A and B are shown apart, each in its own frame.
Chain A
Amino acid sequence: QKEVEQDPGPLSVPEGAIVSLNCTYSNSAFQYFMWYRQYSRKGPELLMYTYSSGNKEDGRFTAQVDKSSKYISLFIRDSQPSDSATYLCAMGNAGGTSYGKLTFGQGTILTVHP
């Protein structure tokens, strides 16, 4: 079983739709979670960072973490064509022998069409 699983898509939605992106993970040591947006051949851009279970909202983005189910989600409301990109989930654990290593999902390709 992969440590982090993410549906690669591609996902195509109309402008204005609510988008749901998900990752599951197997390593219960993961404590913090990030969502990145990556445009083609560019660096990952940090969208959301969460450290605990529950929801975190920032503008049109909501990150959700359910540690008991080992499941995280990113919701995008009122999606725009400029949201078209690859969305990466990443997670890490603190302490012990870990010093910030992030484990990434495969990435979900999202297209928002006008």
Chain B
Amino acid sequence: EPEVTQTPSHQVTQMGQEVILRCVPISNHLYFYWYRQILGQKVEFLVSFYNNEISEKSEIFDDQFSVERPDGSNFTLKIRSTKLEDSAMYFCASSEVAGGLSAEQFFGPGTRLTVL
């Protein structure tokens, strides 16, 4: 069964460093998303991406964040200068469409980011 994969599973970094989190969405999906979950809190939307453009972003997704689809399979989230409060689980998700009858979003296993 197709699934979303993410690497690395755990990333430890120093405050101020750049990190890139990687995702491989399900191959026939066209919409890609990043969410984060701070320990003990709810899953929060960061950004949606379609047709090589950001479609929608939350207030969390500030200038320190960027997303890219560098090739036909990978989808990345870059945090330019990490802060302590960026420590969280980051989930990638993908869907065939953005709304309607086939809008199911499938999530990857997540990358745990620890900022020291």
Chain A positions within 8 Å of B, measured between CB atoms, are 31-32, 34, 36, 41-46, 49, 51, 88, 90, 92-95, 97-107
The listed residue (A31, A46, A93, A94) touching B106 by CB distance below 8 A is A46
Question: A42-B109, A88-B43 known; A51 and B55 CB under 8 Å?
Answer: no
> Who on chain A is nearest to B104 by CB?
A49
Tell me the complex Cα distance, A93–B47, Å. 15
Tell me the complex Cα distance, A87–B28, Å. 27
- Chain B 44-63 against A: per-residue CB contact (8 Å), 1 yes, 0 no? 11001010000110100000
B110 interfacial by beta-carbon distance below 8 Å = yes
Most buried by A among B45, B100, B105, B110: B105
Question: A42-B109, A43-B91, A46-B105 known; A32 and B50 CB under 8 Å?
Answer: no
Tell me the complex Cα distance, A99–B101, Å. 14
When distances are taken between beta carbons in the complex, the residues of chain A under 8 Å from B109 are: 42-43
B72 interfacial by beta-carbon distance below 8 Å = no
Question: A36-B107, A100-B55 known; A90 and B43 CB under 8 Å?
Answer: yes
Tell me the complex Cα distance, A92–B101, Å. 12
B31 interfacial by beta-carbon distance below 8 Å = yes
Docked-complex contact B99 and A93, CB < 8 angstroms: yes
Tell me the complex Cα distance, A40–B20, Å. 24
Interchain residue pairs with CB less than 8 A apart (29): A32-B100, A41-B112, A42-B109, A43-B4, A43-B6, A43-B108, A46-B105, A46-B106, A49-B103, A51-B100, A51-B103, A88-B42, A88-B43, A92-B99, A94-B99, A94-B100, A94-B103, A95-B99, A98-B99, A99-B56, A100-B31, A100-B55, A100-B56, A100-B97, A101-B45, A101-B48, A104-B42, A105-B42, A107-B42
Tell me the complex Cα distance, A90–B43, Å. 9
